[in-house]
Amino acid sequence: MQIRNRWLYKKFASLKTSILFLGLLSIFYLVGTIFPQGGDIEDYIKEGGRFVLLVKIFGLLDLFSTPLFFITAFVLFINIFICSYERFLALTSETQIDTEFIPTHTIQLNTKENIDNIFIKKLGFKKIHSNQTAAIVAKGLSYKWLTWLYHIGVFLCFIGFFLTYLFAFEDEVTIYPNETKTILPSKQGRLQKLFNIKPKEFPFKIQLAEFITEYNQMPSIDYPKDKLSRLAIALGWQGKPITYKIKDDSYFPKDWKSRLIVYKDDKFAYIKTIEVNEPLKYGGITFYQSAFKQDLKITIDNSPLAIDAEVDKEAILPGIENSIVFRNLRVGTLFKKDGTTEKIIPSVDVYIVKKTTNDKKEKEKAGKLEFGSSLTIEDKAIGIKEFKEATILSYRYDPGVPLLWLAGIMVLVTMALRVYSAWYRIIYRVDEEQGAPLLKLSIKTRGLLADEEGMVRRVRHYAK
Amino acid sequence: MLETILSRDAFLLTIELKIFWLIAFGYGVCLFLFFAHLFTKKNSIGNAATGILWGVVVAHAALILFRTFEAQRAPFQTLYESLSWFAWSASITYLYAARKWKDVYLAGIPVTLLSMSASLYALLSRNPAVEPLSPPLQSWWFEYHVILAFLSYAVFVVSCSIELVYLLIKPRLEKGLSYNYGLDLDNIETFHRTSFKLVLFGFPLLTFGVFSGAAWANDAWGRYWSWDPKETWSLITWTVFAMYLHAMTIPKWKGLPASMFNILGFICMMMTFLGVNWLAKLLGIPSLHIYAV
Ligand code: HEM
């Protein structure tokens, strides 16, 4: 009891404190949108960021891991905890009739029916309390308990974030088709880092059984970008109709899929084809389809010796002065606009990297190289001998997620019930005045679906 | 075969754009009439504006269905599409909220101004092409996330408009001016309460918007929260509306302070929707990737 009378405790139990700290957190968030979170200070300087000193002092590129943010969030967390505790005490203490019962409606009672029966049997109310002064009945889910429950949900969310903050880590792994990999993360959670606990190898292996790339044929429209021409088309002043065209580069990624097989103790354990939005969950770790890596073996003038090249990286080819970049290796299946599918003839775009006068590099497209044919660059015929696609999986361990699911659903459901569903409380008393019984009542409602006037009308109807 | 499909699609898109222009024009006509009512104070003009807005909203609903048929999927993928949904949902929410407010037309001005601007922005500056869904968008969450989050935006637009009207008219009533655009000392508080009820209605939707966004990111990117500017702005909006709702439970804060939170919430919502890119550019600050939607 003692502590509940202290100044600090009272501050923590106050709604104004919540508003203040919600406001302070918003300011943190705002600053966080101005500085690229997770960014690198070098990149920040390179890209022309102006507040280098501030960024360095306050750790603004990792603002949400700074002690200042943490303390602010923690105060709100304690605030929610104490508020919920206080509310709980209030809710479980006995319901009292408002000291002064001020009826807002007076209704003539003409029925022989017991008034309690009207509320309970006819109108579906529950009796909560009654004494000599008046009786209280209520209908609907208690809005106070619902409010309390979603605040508890918010409280649990904070614990979920905290678990993520302490324990979560993520990393990446690249696997080639038919390769089986054991995985040793190079990163670990904050707490493990703090106690210098080394990451452990996962107790299972992953094999990439197959990697699948699929594309949609994407037509683009012939439609002007400038506003006046668009207006002119709308007004019919420009005769050129809008058209859809299929261009050479109208490949739009449809899906990347990895068929993964998990082996535990060298025995088959699990198989799943993953794609973006469809991760593999195994052993507490979630594996996501993140990206892919494409490798080529290039031949020059049909020489049997092939040169390794990676797509999107500069390659030096013997006999060719400028370096070369291969881009957009297309393999897999194309889903065409007319509903048919087609195996893509593998091809890659070839760019020559030229040095310009001011030592900058410029890429110039040399052409498209198809599997089975060749492209001539600086008098050399280059061709593709082989290509390979590896999947890049990102994986993550995050023990906060299950709790967040639970808490999030709890918040949503109870908040929706609180806000939308109807709740009524009626306090009433029957008075005799000049020999005629009068029903006097006051009504309170919550929830957007509650219809106060409608409920009073129904009471009147049964009182007739 | 392919050629036929492409020319059919182009034909449908042309029709769609023409109707959309007419709808944008329709919002403009309503805006003009609401303005005319402001000056002429004639209820017949206000009624005409409301009547025409009903017509425009029905036509716009048909257009959104048309786009659904054209694209063979829910029409919420590109900014062009979500702007259209935003314009429509703001106006229909306004009509629904205003149905009880005979002779009060002022809130129609900001709402139709936004609906018209959103439609014109979509028509003039965004790419209207029907595009296939990119892999990250191919999620169960996608449609629910966008539909409900945008519905909450519409609700906040109307709530803020009512709030502004209240702040404008209340001092006039206190001064005892005779004509107050359908509001008087008896009904203005009930009118004002509509804005609170709207935020109450929208807040769980916004909560769902933030939650579903996080659940989706958890499936697609493997992390439920990355402090991306768009995510962070949605959290700011959510927090500010939570502050508003709490301020409304403190008797002393119920008046102007709460009203300010409501208007601030609206500004944050517009930042989440459109302002993120703009702010990054304005401050010359490198920003992480920003989603298309
Ligand atoms: C992130 C934190 C919070 C969120 C999102 C939140 C959310 C809400 C919302 C939406 C409402 C209004 C709807 C309703 O009346 O049920 C509300 C009401 C309320 N909140 Fe919070 N809240 C938070 C933190 C707190 C804290 C820390 C306190 C403790 C002081 C608190 C105490 C209250 C009270 C007393 C009400 C009035 C409930 C009533 O109408 O009976 N909230 N909260």
Q: What is the pLDDT of residue B38?
A: 92
Contact A219 B218 (CB under 8 A): no
pLDDT tens for each residue of A13-27 = 999 999 999 999 999
Contact B118, B112 (CB under 8 A): no
Q: What is the pLDDT of residue A96?
A: 64
Per-residue tokens: A430: 């029957």
pLDDT tens for each residue of A240-295 = 788 898 877 678 889 999 999 999 999 999 999 999 889 999 999 999 999 899 99
Q: What is the pLDDT of residue A38?
A: 76
Q: From the CA of B243, how far away is ligand 1's center (Å)?
A: 9
Q: Which residues of B touch A405 (CB under 8 A)?
A: 215
d(CA A224, CA B123): 11
Q: Does the pLDDT of residue A191 top 50, yes or no? A: yes
Q: Which residues of B touch A394 (CB under 8 A)?
A: 222
| Probe residue for ligand 1, chosen from A29, A80, A84 as the CB with the greatest number of ligand atoms within 8 Å | A80
Q: What is the pLDDT of residue B289?
A: 38
Contact B17 A415 (CB under 8 A): no
Q: What is the pLDDT of residue A284?
A: 92
Q: B54: number of CA atoms within 13 Å, CB side?
A: 9
A18: Cβ contacts below 8 Å, ≥ 6 apart:
A76, A79, A80, A83, B246
Q: What is the pLDDT of residue A51?
A: 81
Chain mean pLDDT for chain A = 90
Helices assigned H by DSSP within A35-136: 41-46, 52-58, 67-92, 115-117
How far CA A345 is from CA of A217, A247, A251, A309, A338, in Å, comes to 14, 16, 13, 19, 19
| Probe residue for ligand 1, chosen from A77, A147, A154, A445 as the CB with the greatest number of ligand atoms within 8 Å | A147
Q: Whose CA is nearest to atom 31 of ligand 1?
A: A15
Contact B134, B198 (CB under 8 A): no
Domains of chain A, residue spans: 2-86, 97-140+422-464, 141-168+399-419, 172-397
d(CA A371, CA A350): 13
Per-residue tokens: B208: 């769902």
Provide mean pLDDT across the span A375-379: 88
A329: Cβ contacts below 8 Å, ≥ 6 apart:
A294, A296, A311, A346, A347, A348, A387, A389
pLDDT tens for each residue of B121-152 = 999 999 999 888 888 888 888 888 988 999 99
Q: Does the pLDDT of residue B287 top 70, yes or no? A: no
Q: Does the pLDDT of residue B293 top 60, yes or no? A: no
pLDDT tens for each residue of B227-271 = 888 889 999 999 999 999 999 999 999 989 999 999 999 999 999
Chain mean pLDDT for chain B = 91
Tallying the residues shown for chain A, one arrives at 464
Provide mean pLDDT across the span A227-232: 90
Contact B71, B33 (CB under 8 A): no
Domains of chain B, residue spans: 1-133, 136-293
Between A155 and B181, residue with greater pLDDT: A155
Residues at CB less than 6 angstroms from ligand 1: A 15, 18, 79-80, 83, 144, 147, 151, 154, 418; B 203, 242, 245-246, 249
Q: What is the pLDDT of residue B137?
A: 83
Element (H, E) at B40: helix B2-40
Q: Which residues of B touch A276 (CB under 8 A)?
A: 135-136, 138, 220
Between A216 and A111, residue with greater pLDDT: A216
What is the fold of A97-140+422-464?
TATA-Binding Protein (3.30.310)
Per-residue tokens: B211: 């939650």
List the 50-69 stretch of A: residues with Cβ below 8 A of B.
50, 64
pLDDT band at B161 (very low <50, low <70, confident <90, very high): very high
- Nearest chain A residue to B5, by CA: A338
pLDDT band at A94 (very low <50, low <70, confident <90, very high): low
- Nearest chain B residue to A46, by CA: B286
Amino acid at A430: V
Q: From the CA of A125, how far away is ligand 1's center (Å)?
A: 27
The complex's ipTM works out to: 0.92
Count other C-beta atoms under 10 Å from residue A438's C-beta. 16
d(CA B206, CA B152): 6
Q: What is the pLDDT of residue B292?
A: 36
User: Which SS3 state, helix, strand or coil, does residue B131 take?
Assistant: coil
pLDDT band at A1 (very low <50, low <70, confident <90, very high): low
Q: Does the pLDDT of residue B278 top 80, yes or no? A: no
pLDDT tens for each residue of A124-144 = 999 988 888 889 999 999 999
| Probe residue for ligand 1, chosen from B234, B238, B249, B254 as the CB with the greatest number of ligand atoms within 8 Å | B249
Provide mean pLDDT across the span A393-399: 95
Q: Does the pLDDT of residue A97 top 90, yes or no? A: no
- Is B250 an 8 Å CB contact of chain A? yes
